[in-house]
Structure 1
Amino acid sequence: MSASRIAVVLRHADDIHLGNLEQVLLDHDYTVHYIDTLGADGLRGIDPAAADLLVVLGGEMGAYETESYPVLTDEIELLTRRLAARRPVFGVCLGAQLMASALGSPVYRGQSNEIGFRLVEPTEAGQASPLRHVSGIPMMQWHSDTFDLPAGTIRLAGSAAYGNEAFAIDDWALAVQFHPEVTAEMHETWLSSSEAEVRAEGLEPDALRQERAQHSAAMQQASSAMFSEWLSALPGDAAGPQRTR
């Protein structure tokens, strides 16, 4: 049977892709279309509401670096229109920050560059959501930016270093600051290409590799369960739910 739904995925670098979450999308009968946002065409011709699901991945830039990366302005505008239409969106790291910006919240540098596998603790609301799957499981973190919780959203998780690690709008929009998608292979690629950054933070690459050996398998299992449950709960109505809280 051919896939019946389309997931458009905004990618900001070749090595920051869907990772272990791609198979979850395929299992839920999605066809995956990557859009390389820094390519020559950028977001040209994309209808903000057309795809069944929009996924916005991470990147090395900040959501506020619109002068250096003008396409970020286009992404924020696309997200603003899609969120206003109540169409399903999933954002990871930079994607979560762009969602926050589209919802009117500031995005800014945090107090630390968080790199490694760290606990992300669901809130009470998070424990009643797909975020419950990551409770007690160290998740991959690699970010130094953060954001204020957007109005009209529900905070689902925080960490020791950052209070806003995940938020949602009803059951059709989910943003996570951590990296649920990262496979062991992706982690090694990131680590090998960013050794100077890692050492500048006083971290040892081999220590991070030991973390990966200890936590990666459980993290990927928790991530897949989280994403699968969220996808399963997406509303069938093309316009999304019209509930209020």
Structure 2
Amino acid sequence: MTKTGLIIRHVPHEGLAGYREPIEAAGYDLARIDVSDPAFGAIDLGEPDLLIMMGGPMGVYEQHEHPWIACQMRRLARRLDAGRPTLGVCFGAQMMAAALGARVYPGPAKEVGFHALDFVDPASPLRHLAGTPVLHWHGDTFDLPDDVDLLASTAGYPHQAFRRGNAILALQFHAEMGLDPRFEEWLRQWPDALVETGGSVEAMRALHRRLGPPAVAAGRAMIAEWLAGLPD
């Protein structure tokens, strides 16, 4: 029987990217909905076999500007309480932390660029990322929720990834990015983030060309192993 997967996209230029290949190879028939879709509020987030929430420039604490955040978080909390397979990336990971009762807030400084994680749990699927520079592009962080395992850290952002059991995986970084042409939209929309962190559009574009493909290869291996370990 085909398994169902639902991608929640918070902005058009932050999609599934490199993670699509291993998820479809694992047998998931993927659908997508944008939070701007009028039908989003009526979607049962507990129904899909796999829920995937991608990134976005908004903060979890900006619910007055984005009323859909509170609506999404209520439905997400019910799914997580039921232990249903869920993957969150960047803003998606922050939503998961908040739905599990943790605080989400601005970090000490923006973390933007390609660099390796300082700590990776070698007994987790993230072992595929050890030593491989992956894309970081975030300014928010979160406290670690109760009853989760910390899987990765950097010096500036010690809570880079966590899981609860085998079914719930939250990733602050972007190991899905490195081959997707939509990265040009990131560079167009947020050049100030590069300047703020001592970089430039040209330098980031060159890093993306050089470091992006191995980052995506490692990210795909991570996701494939995580999916293989999901409970039946």
Decide: shared fold, TM above 0.5: yes
Residue by residue, what CA displacement relative to the aligned partner does 1:20-51 show, whole Å, maximum 9, x if unpaired?
A: 1112111111111111112222331x223211
Cα deviation for residue 90 of structure 1 reads 0.4
Q: Which amino acid aligns with 1:139?
A: V
Cα deviation for residue 91 of structure 1 reads 0.4
Residue 76 of structure 2 corresponds to residue 75 of structure 1? no
Separation in structure 2 between the aligned mates of residue 134 and residue 195 of structure 1, nearest angstrom:
27
Cα deviation for residue 96 of structure 1 reads 0.5
Residue 155 of structure 2 corresponds to residue 155 of structure 1? no
Residue 61 of structure 2 corresponds to residue 60 of structure 1? no
CA contact (8 A) 1:66 1:72 kept: yes
Q: Which amino acid aligns with 2:218?
A: A
Show the 5 A alignment for 1:6-21. Answer: 6-21=4-19
Which residue does 1:240 correspond to in 2?
A: none
Show the 5 A alignment for 1:227-238. Answer: 227-236=223-232
CA contact (8 A) 2:178 2:208 kept: no
Separation in structure 2 between the aligned mates of residue 183 and residue 17 of structure 1, nearest angstrom:
12
Where 1:15 maps in the other structure, the secondary structure is: coil
Q: Which amino acid aligns with 2:25?
A: D
CA contact (8 A) 2:153 2:159 kept: yes
CA contact (8 A) 1:105 1:147 kept: yes
CA contact (8 A) 2:178 2:209 kept: no
Separation in structure 2 between the aligned mates of residue 49 and residue 196 of structure 1, nearest angstrom:
38
Where 2:24 maps in the other structure, the secondary structure is: helix
Change (3 A) 1:129 1:87: same
Separation in structure 1 between the aligned mates of residue 212 and residue 153 of structure 2, nearest angstrom:
20
Stretch moving more, 199-208 or 104-113: 199-208
Stretch moving more, 91-100 or 196-205: 196-205
Separation in structure 2 between the aligned mates of residue 93 and residue 205 of structure 1, nearest angstrom:
21
How many residues are aligned here?
231
Q: Which amino acid aligns with 2:205?
A: R
- Give the RMSD, CA atoms, in angstroms: 1.3
The counterpart of 2:188, out of the listed 189, 192, 203, is 192
Where 1:55 maps in the other structure, the secondary structure is: strand
Stretch moving more, 200-209 or 80-89: 200-209
Show the 5 A alignment for 1:80-159. Answer: 80-123=77-120, 126-159=121-154
CA contact (8 A) 1:109 1:144 kept: yes
CA contact (8 A) 1:96 1:175 kept: yes
Cα deviation for residue 195 of structure 1 reads 2.1
Cα deviation for residue 187 of structure 1 reads 2.3
The counterpart of 2:222, out of the listed 214, 220, 226, is 226
Identity of aligned residues (%): 36
Which residue does 2:3 correspond to in 1?
A: 5
Q: Which runs of 5+ in 2 are unaligned?
A: none
Stretch moving more, 147-156 or 186-195: 186-195
Cα deviation for residue 159 of structure 1 reads 0.9
CA contact (8 A) 1:122 1:131 kept: no
Q: Which amino acid aligns with 1:195?
A: P
CA contact (8 A) 2:114 2:211 kept: yes
Normalised to the residue count of structure 1, the TM-score between the two structures is 0.90
Which residue does 2:28 correspond to in 1?
A: 30
Separation in structure 2 between the aligned mates of residue 208 and residue 161 of structure 1, nearest angstrom:
20
Separation in structure 1 between the aligned mates of residue 76 and residue 39 of structure 2, nearest angstrom:
18
